Chain A
Amino acid sequence: DAKTTQPNSMESNEEEPVHLPCNHSTISGTDYIHWYRQLPSQGPEYVIHGLTSNVNNRMASLAIAEDRKSSTLILHRATLRDAAVYYCMANSNSGYALNFGKGTSLLVTP
């Protein structure tokens, strides 16, 4: 699994876009980049994943650098409900342990 580095915390205003960065410089060619988030008092939930191309889904967008050494999770319009810890991971899709690390705690203010 590639080591990932994320800021400890970020803050955003409600209805503003949020860009959550992640560095994964040791990523290998077959490693997926994936993001989960954990809302307060809940289990983690899947947000998005990608391999090489940028990805969009109903929750977020994932922008992957051309060299794949970094990526950015984009929440297009943050809501109060998006306040959570966001975990970036880069590892093969083996279904084995997800290495959550410390993640980025996102605070959304009205």
Chain B
Amino acid sequence: SQQGEEDPQALSIQEGENATMNCSYKTSINNLQWYRQNSGRGLVHLILIRSNEREKHSGRLRVTLDTSKKSSSLLITASRAADTASYFCATADSYNTDKLIFGTGTRLQVFP
């Protein structure tokens, strides 16, 4: 399987704290994307970072990409209870961008 791996599998924090989750992948990529899934719902796209980018911001989200280590991290700053969800990374292979390979996800619980 070429599925990526997120780390940690689960994370529990208090409101106001920062949450960091990591993603490792196996192939050369065109881009890497992060998605969020609330329990029992579809996924929502959060941010896309291209292979030639190293860092990207969107509101309280900060994504980094290290292609030499084949890894990415998602930082959520000043977390809120509403951030409670599962977070998935997905990669588009450099030579085959017609599909995304999703990771196994990090389950984030933010306590009020």
A, B: real partners? no
Q: Chain B residues in contact with chain A, CB under 8 A?
A: none
Q: Chain A residues in contact with chain B, CB under 8 A?
A: none
